[in-house]
Chains A and B, each alone.
Chain A
Amino acid sequence: MIEATDTNLQLARERARQAGLPFVALHSHPGSADPVHPVDFMAARMLSEGVCRQFRILPVAYSEGVLTIATAEPFDELARSVAPALTGKAVRWVIATAEEIADAIDGVFRGSEPPLSGATGTVAEHPRARDEELQEQLREELPADGPPARLRLGELLVMRGIVTQEQIELRLAEQARTGERLGELLVHDGLVEEQQLLDVVADQLELPRVDLSGIDPQALPLEQIPEPVSRLLRVVPIGIDERTLYLATPDLLDEHALATLREHTDRELRIFLAEPNAIDELLARAHREAYSNTATLELLERYPEECANRVLSGAQRTVMITMALVFIAALVVFPLGTLITVIAISTVWYMLASLYKLKLTYSALGHEYEVDITDEDLAALDERDLPVYSILVPLYKEAEVVPRLIDGIDGLDYPRTKLDVRLLCEEDDAETINAIRALGLPPHYKLVIVPESMPKTKPKACNYGLLQAEGEIVVIYDAEDRPDPDQLKKAVLAFQKADPRVTCVQAKLNYFNQDQNLLTRWFSAEYSLWFDLLLPGLDAEKAPIPLGGTSNHFITERLVMLAGWDPFNVTEDADLGIRLHKAGYQTAIIDSTTLEEANSHLPNWIRQRSRWIKGYIQTWLVHMRHPLRLLRQLGPRGFLSFQLMVGGSFVVFLLNPIFWFLTTVFFLTEVGVIQQLFPSFIFYLAATELFIGNFVFLYVNLAGLMERGYFELIKYALLTPVYWGLMSIGAWKGLIQLFTNPFYWEKTEHGLDSTAGPSLQGH
């Protein structure tokens, strides 16, 4: 023990006086009247040894939320700011001599007997310590001398009385099974608060801790590290001086990360630990504009020809105007011939689209084109090997579904600590944001607030969420979705089993409120056909697949490489499916279903449908800006499939009412002019379409319902032609809106099914 000299004591008393702080002696001095302050061993560990030695400070007591720290240098501003930041506690400063502080630090961190109050030789107990026996054991295990054995996290937590040994053992068993980290398990189980954990980890790693909530992003330190590097390494610069850059990070940085950082700064790096979510939030606050711009403009800047930010390209505009002029001229000169030609082209197009869809559905009826994943495969899955999975859930004015959403996500069969759930809220949606905050969600839930900017679309929100997504795989769910509980695991297995080029795994979608009314029944029939037959058929054809709106699982890295979703496209899902294919990637289908809420109100349904059709037209126009290039990228079969599936769909919906009108007028009036519009061979095709094609599509709807097992809906699906009429209304609305308000997102109102249970929950 180094004795403080009288001179040092005197100097310390003087500094205390000057600073207006109390002076304490950390151990008694003969003849001295100075108050002796015992060192609380547990309180002392609230700062790491490194911090204590660097700043020559030592916590000596903790009571009623106030941490008493002894310092020899009361005028060290940095030390006085670091200590509260690292501990997150209110700090009361006292002055002690440097020698006594150094001596006490040795005692605390080197296992030598700490400075004691009186002569009892006992360690002051932490007020929160509960497990007396373990504490006693730990004390006995502390080496009397020499370097200390670093305590393990569980031991530290038990020692501090935060959890019990039994709780630790249970989580250790779970850790052995799932490979999850102990601390995260405890946090996710609500046994430890994230801040508490970070305190302990900081002590364990002997790193200082920082509370980021009160820190405003500062330009100078932020400028030192480029934003993408910060995002990638998940570090945020929080302070800077001449020699040092202070960084907050959720974990130790490895050599690679440190090397990367040193490429951007010559300053010494000083690391502080902080909660991961706090780092994300600070990064988002710091780079708000940059993130927002990236989410909005990344695709446009990297692949401008793939972005739907303009409806028509210059060449397309020229071609269309020319075609329109030629058409008008021809109509004037050869009215009948021109109309017959248009009808002939439409009819042939129609026929080809119908035949292609029939081929796909019939092919899918007899085969299982989904990636084959058996129960045995699922049972054999080692959870320790599962990757981190990001779930993006865009929400807008959906506060009422948030509790159900959370219940649903909790119902997914996937290690929680490997989940990275990002709830994407628009900045102006205070209600939903507050609803999420009020729930006090565990740390794998991240509230991401998307800054207000145009276009205000779901894909832009998803891009924003993708920026900080931690998962190797990322999936989109809507708030009301109810995926099969094992869907994430199936997707992981699908990626393992499928062709290495598979970048997206699409799960099937259907509806949980199918029986609500006739509209929802028709909607279910349509989805059964689309997801159970058509998409698997496309998969088998190795054709580009227009993805469904949710439950598409991506390899994050590749999705980022593709610049995410097109924020200007209102069916960004379908568009992304095409872009994936163009980039040489593939989409696979898995036999796992996500149940959604079908639109049960007609006006709401029309709005949704108009957006879908508008998006399909957008998608077709975007990819047809360079038809020859598209042909090269997709190949002849893929190109044809794109024309028939994407182009064919909206053309059919748009044409239907015209042909139906002509048919009706003809039957009612038998006017000759209509007959003249359909010369024999065109008539044969048209009649085949009308009488056979229509029925075939009705029939494959029934088959789709059978395949899905929705037998009760089959009789209702017989009325599907009425539904096609509604589709056409939506199609025309969408077409008109494409030119009047191209990027407007027709929001689908959810929560119309009063019987809806938990979202995202197993069924």
Chain B
Amino acid sequence: MTKIRTLYEKLWDSHVVAELPGGDSLLYIDRQILHEVSSPQAFVAMRDSGRQLRRPETHIAVADHAVPTRNRHGAIEDLQARAQVAELETNVAEFSVPYAALEGSEQGIVHVIGPETGFTLPGTTIVCGDSHTTTHGAFGALAFGIGASEQGTVMAAQVLPQARAKTMKVELVGQLAPHVDAKDIALALIARIGAHGAVGHAVEYAGPAVSAMSMAQRMTLCNMTIEAGSRIGIVAPDETTFAYLKGRRLAPDGARWDAAVTYWRTLASDAGATFDKTVTLDLAAIEPQVSWGTSPNQTLPIGAAVPDPATIADATVRRETEKALAYMGLTPGQKLEDVAIDHVFIGSCTNGRIEDLRAAAAVVRGRKVASGVKAIIVPGSAATRAAAEGEGLDRVFTDAGFEWRFAGCSMCVAMNDDRLAPGQRCASTSNRNFEGRQGAGGRTHLVSPAMAAAAAVTGHLADVRKLV
């Protein structure tokens, strides 16, 4: 009889190259994605040691983090960013790494183009020098973020020593209410289990509600798993996954496709598989969420008020709350819906896909961005941007007063010129409300695309359900 295993254990077992004496395993890495900001030092290490990539064809490189989003013509204005992109281009040429050019049709955020091109496949191990590599877990891949040194190891040897994680099942039951989305589920989950609630665990999202989700929703959910402290969030591949992948440029075709799907169908947790932890969320009870603090677990439903530290018994939580409120410039007891905003950012590897843009456009259509608010839409990829333009979404946004940008990480990481000034407040579809994340002194409220759109047209944090 075969052993009853979780999906994580199956993915793990199928990639063990060797067991190491200290208890870690040497894990085979099928795919690596490289970007301009975290790869330079890994390439330097390759060059210094005279190594070649073991399998360059298992890599894909793209510039996304530091690139400008206002235009794609001519040289990049910022000299450091220009140098970084040039260095990436030199490196991919020297080491024969497939490259999605900045001006090309496949450029975009690493975690958006991986799935879009079919580079991301079920049953694979995928790494990238970016913590949101969890995103690819939506396809039933074992995907995790790594550092630059580890990137060098994967380039040279196609393996990484890894410690096996514990397992955590997040069971989603019930039906989401209208205008509540995957982002709200992710934020509600993190608020419940904490920003380090999943440390040391590989999270599997399961249950009927997950089966009903689109790939975009699954990606949003898996993407945010790192904000609960876990490097790995996975969903078992199913018909939705296969339908998404079929025909994509790098997905297998013909007999190879059929063989792959046959294998991929075995990638689910066996009935009776046990998890070290299980959390159940009733989706029907989830309301649109908004983060009020500087850690993603500092999140509440939009109808709530800013917490009052005076009423918090736990000294640590009280101190953290006081610190967050001081940074965020909020008053205890203030209604979240009364919080005025300066900026709106819709985009990122969390919420920069076509489905996200459609959800935002549905709210924006026929409305105007509130006066004094600067609102930008940054599609997750060139392909997403083109698809949105094909549907006329760009016009919906620009008619309302949004800026329609080129693809990149933009205000999610604030490495280019898209950033907040100190004290400015942003409703953002990105993934981190950390201090300074959107610019030194900037204040971030994490929301879904529909909620960001609602904030843009009202000028304050707003309940999208009251607008539609």
Whether A associates with B in a native complex is no
Residues of chain A at the chain B interface (Cβ within 8 Å): none
